[in-house]
Chains A and B, each alone.
Chain A
Amino acid sequence: MAKGNAASPRNQTDNNVVFQVRGLTKVYRMGELEVHALRGVDMELYSGELVVLLGPSGSGKSTLLNILGGLDTASGGEVSYLGISLTKAGDKELTEYRRVHVGFVFQFYNLIPSLTARENVEVVTEIASEPMRAEEALRLVGLAERLDHFPAQLSGGEQQRVAIARAISKNPKVLLCDEPTGALDSGTGIVVLEALDRVNRELGTATVIITHNVDIAAMADRVINLSDGRISQVTVNTEKKAPQDLHW
């Protein structure tokens, strides 16, 4: 693992920048109190790379991810996606952006309990512009056999893999994962990470994984450390580890 301060890793040029973030700040008002979640973040995300965002709770990593995903708006600074400003977009544009370009994976899966695995994926493919087939997405995460099971009939790891299948089924440019293994034991967590890794490799989807689990960083192309609302360190992994070689 080589450490450096470069925000741009090897082989990346301006042509394949997915996200460009400049001077991003976010202030929450909680009653009388102002919480500075982000205090000026600059970064790029390039197509095809897998980035792990590391940081303790309160470091601002979820806020950053939410703004990248169009779930939250910035207080200052600029975020552009493929050259289009997200910071100036309204609710309608953000909805459209999420609908077409971004795949989300959450800590608690957020599946629709009343829909089967296949249908949970179809929820997305039905509104996407160029989706893959739901069965195909589920095959990619190793759930080809559990298409017609309801969430209540699936284990936590399986539910999270359905969530990944749902996220990738629209063929998104970026996949944003917020603590995807946070609710899982390590064995199950690794199966989920394998699925994410495979998607990243086979589909070339730029992937951002938020975690406070340092061990997961080893599978990333780049590791961005956040603390106190700022990027404290960026590390480029010269040698990525396969998820099955991780343990915690």
Chain B
Amino acid sequence: MKALNRKVFRDLRIMRGQALAIAIVITSGMAAFVMFIGAMESLTATRDRFYRDYAFADVFVSLKRAPESLRSRIAAIPGVTVAETRVVAPVKLDIEGFPEPVTAQMISVPEHGSPLLNRLYIRSGRMPDPARDDETVVSETFAQAHGFKPGDRIGAIINGRKKNLVITGVGLSPEFVLIMRPEALSPDFKRFGILWMGRKALGKSYNMDGAFNDVVLAVQPGADTGRILTELDMILEKYGGLGAYARKDQMSNRMLSEEFRMLRRSAEIYPTIFILVAAFLLNVVISRTVSIQREQIAALKAFGYENADIAIHYAKLVILIVLLGLAGGSVLGIWLEQRMGQLYMDVYRFPSLVLRINLLTMLAATGISVLSALAGTLHAVWRAARETPAEAMRPEPPAKYRVSYLEQIGIGRWLSQPSRIILRNVERKPVRTFLSILGIAVACATMLTSGFFSDAVNYLVQVQFRVSQKEDMTVAFVEPTSRRVVYDLAGLEGVHRVEGFRQVPVRFRFGHRSYKTVIDGVEPDGRLHSQLNDKGKPVPIPSSGLLLGDYLGELLGVKPGDTVTVEVLEGNREVLQIPVTAMSKQFIGTTGTMDLSALNRLLKQGDAVSGAYLTADTNKWEELYRQFIRMPRVSGITLRTNEIRNFYDVQAKGMLFFTFVATLMACSIAVGVVYNSARIALSERSRELSSLRVLGYTRGEVSYILLGELGLLVLTAIPLGFLIGYSLCLLIAWALANDLFRIPMVLDPPTYSMAAAVVLISAVVSALIVRRKLDRLDLVEVLKTRE
């Protein structure tokens, strides 16, 4: 090995603590990058393969009922390659040993075998036998939640009639990668599932013999989907079509896309922060190394080494540190990617995870990191190479200082000399000071973003389930029913209060914008289910006109006072003009709300409800839903407590993982920045500090000067970190907002404390390491030498 190369390794050994701290920052950045990008690419590949191999449909539509003969008309729409009709039925399930209400969506499969579109992947067992009418395949998450195996039996109440079914298989469908009850906040694998059953058997049970109520289409690549949707809607208008939608609006696919979007954003944001921090740290450390080694550089040049040799020599040092970090990051990243992939697979179900490790992406990340690091150190390396040997051999002129601004405004009087030293040092290199503070602040901000999700979820649960939805359970009816049913329900034993509601599928139009959703008609003096304003207080229901969710208002560009067009998608399909009278704050869903009576008047359908909210004695619940399961008109029951529990369960796992990763990252940045700042300060000022020790300053007093400066940086950084963190959370909330949910901007005090604590602990650990070195200062040696 060449002598100069040997020097690279020796230098690296000497600065191993600092090099390691920087390498760890780079490791975190690379790990985050590999994890997010890798998870995204793996899941994308997994999804694409599943969609392709199992023929995920392009267009979806539900309708009331149409004769099978209509299929050929639909198939004839230009651009449509496959049109498949289905029967889809909501069913209530009766599961032995599980008394809570369980609902499912039952979907028909053709008699002749597998469907053409949204084909089933059979994990175990087999497809139903076409000759039998009591066989079904159940979705995997549902089967796992209850421990069902092929051969087990369940009772299903289809159209009010109980049917005993045999499970023949456990399956997955590209249509239900994520299985969630419509309007639920999060998946509930125990209480909602998908069942597939032969078309003939289901058609008979659901009065759809020779008819269908659901269509899925495949279209030619590049076909104008918008036009196909319009034509399909026109064909189905007479048959109670509920509005066709494309793949991008399909629930499971939507949720998956949102996840990918989040992963991509994270892959962009976090690694960038880390690379920038690492580049800054390298700059500081290499600058210092170069200035310590001035005389060595001069000697090397005197021996005839060229500027380029010197520059390359230091560049090698930088590259070595970066590569060290990248190697660690790649390994850690791949491990995290697998964990994350598995975490996703708990909720999102595919036949198998296609793990992608994209070497090209990793190579690109390596290139970018090395280049950023070199860019960060360019100045220092260039300075090293540029000086003439004679110039470099002379000692550096004494550092210039000035009275700090804080002293100029009169605070100086109160300061001891050590405190002045701190202030002046901090002010002497304002850019470095600022970047150090920024670095530590970023660590603090990273911690805040990790706490943000759980705070938001807690707030959401608080607002949604304790203020907005106070009902114990919600009962949904098969179709709109006379409002008298409310009194029937109220008469049941243990029921305290019942409030009917009417939910109507509609399409809002305003100007050129439109949005398909529902209007909830509620009792104006209802107490169980309310819309809230931005202060979290209930908004009164206007006696006429619409109360619109704020996000829906934004989507449509509507303000209170405007009048929107409402196309009703059921019954007589009225087209109405309704004024918007008020807005409400909605975190979940995107709906309009009206006075129940006003809505029914507009629909000219008499006094009807499609469901009811109710509160009841806790010890009567079980008996109540046993009765509901038997009522033919009741299509589903949801329990508020279950919703809350599920919401937490699903969020908790992912959140724990994310918090773990973020904490790791925040610590690595905090330690990296604080430790390096301290080491550099120690190296630059060991002479000064030794002099003070000689003059009779104690170890503690000398530590104060060095560590006090760090303390000042850290204490300044924390509020700045809060500010950056808050802004980052705002950005995240904004970037992730969609019509399914909006993340409320909430950061609880404990999250701030936690972020500050992590930064402080990292700082204290770094300070203790440096303090040990400080205690071992050689008082004699330092006096003998010129700096």
Contacts and interface: CB of A to CB of B under 8 A. Distances in A.
Contacts of A102: 696
Given A126-B417, A152-B398, A108 B424 contact: no
A66 B780 contact: yes
**Main SS of the interface on chain B?**
helix
Interface in A103-136: 104, 106-108, 110-116, 119, 122-124, 126-128
A112 to B, nearest CB: 5
A150 B400 contact: yes
B417 A95 contact: no
Interface in B691-722: 691-699, 701
B685 to A, nearest CB: 9
Given A66-B780, A150-B400, A152-B401, A114 B694 contact: no
A69 B786 contact: no
Interface residues of A, number: 39
B527 interface: no
Interface residues on B, range: 35 or more
A180 to B, nearest CB: 12
Contacts of B695: 98-99, 104, 123-124, 166
B459 to A, nearest CB: 48
Given A126-B417, A152-B397, A112 B697 contact: no
B415 to A, nearest CB: 10
A151 interface: yes
B316 interface: no
A121 to B, nearest CB: 9
A177 B138 CA distance: 92
Given A106-B783, A178-B783, A127 B401 contact: no
Contacts of B418: 123
B401 A95 contact: no
B428 interface: yes
Interface in A63-97: 66, 69, 71-72, 91-92, 95-97
A96 B783 contact: no
Interface core residue of A95, A100, A114 (most chain B CB under 10 Å): A114
A115 B421 contact: yes
Given A72-B780, A122-B417, A126-B417, A113 B397 contact: no
A127 B700 CA distance: 13
Contacts of B680: none
Contacts of B787: 108
Interface string B666-696: 0000000000000000000001101111111
Contacts of A122: 417
A112 B783 contact: no
Contacts of A95: 693, 696-699
Nearest to B786: A108
B780 A113 contact: no
A113 B401 contact: yes
Nearest to B775: A91
A110 B786 contact: no
Interface in B739-787: 779-780, 783-787
A71 B696 contact: no
B690 to A, nearest CB: 8
Contacts of B701: 127
B402 interface: yes
A128 B425 CA distance: 24
B420 interface: yes
B696 A100 contact: yes
A122 B397 CA distance: 24
A150 B697 contact: no
B399 interface: yes
A127 B420 contact: no
B697 A99 contact: yes
Contacts of B784: 62, 107
Contact of A113 (B399, B693, B696, B785): B399
Interface in A149-179: 150-152, 166, 170, 178
Interface core residue of B397, B417, B420 (most chain A CB under 10 Å): B417
A98 B400 contact: no
Contacts of A104: 694-695
A104 to B, nearest CB: 6
B694 A127 contact: no
B399 A152 contact: yes
A127 B694 CA distance: 13
A95 B779 CA distance: 11
B629 to A, nearest CB: 80
B352 interface: no
B694 A113 contact: no
Contacts of B698: 92, 95, 99
B416 interface: yes
Given A119-B417, A152-B397, A114 B692 contact: no
Contact of A114 (B428, B699, B785): B428
A231 B606 CA distance: 120
Contact of B696 (A106, A114, A124, A152): A124
Interface string B387-402: 0000000000111111
A71 B697 contact: no
Contacts of A110: 687-688, 690-691, 694, 783
Given A66-B780, A100-B696, A114 B691 contact: no
Nearest to B698: A95
Contacts of A126: 416-417
B712 to A, nearest CB: 14
Contacts of B424: 114-115
A115 B424 CA distance: 8
A71 B425 contact: no
Contacts of A115: 401, 417, 420-421, 424
Nearest to A101: B696
A104 B697 CA distance: 13
B688 A98 contact: no
B715 to A, nearest CB: 20
Contact of A96 (B402, B403, B421, B696): B696
Contacts of A113: 398-401, 688
Contacts of B400: 113, 150, 152
A229 B41 CA distance: 74
B260 to A, nearest CB: 53
Contacts of A96: 696
Contacts of A66: 780
Interface in B373-422: 397-403, 416-418, 420-421
A71 B425 CA distance: 27
B372 to A, nearest CB: 32
A115 B699 CA distance: 20
Contacts of B783: 71, 106-108, 110, 178
A127 B692 CA distance: 11
B787 to A, nearest CB: 8
Nearest to B779: A71
Nearest to A151: B398
A151 B690 CA distance: 17
A124 B695 CA distance: 7
A116 B428 CA distance: 14
Contacts of B399: 113-114, 152
Contact of A123 (B397, B425, B687, B692): B692
Given A100-B696, A102-B696, A110-B688, 11 more contacts: A92-B698, A98-B694, A99-B695, A107-B784, A108-B787, A112-B692, A114-B424, A115-B424, A123-B417, A124-B696, A151-B398
7 contacts: A92-B698, A99-B695, A108-B787, A110-B690, A113-B401, A115-B420, A119-B420
Interface of A: 62, 66, 69, 71-72, 91-92, 95-100, 102, 104, 106-108, 110-116, 119, 122-124, 126-128, 150-152, 166, 170, 178, 183
In the A-B complex, list the 6 residue pairs whose CB atoms are closest, starting with the nearest: A99-B696, A110-B691, A114-B424, A98-B696, A114-B401, A123-B417
Interface of B: 397-403, 416-418, 420-421, 424-425, 428, 687-688, 690-699, 701, 779-780, 783-787
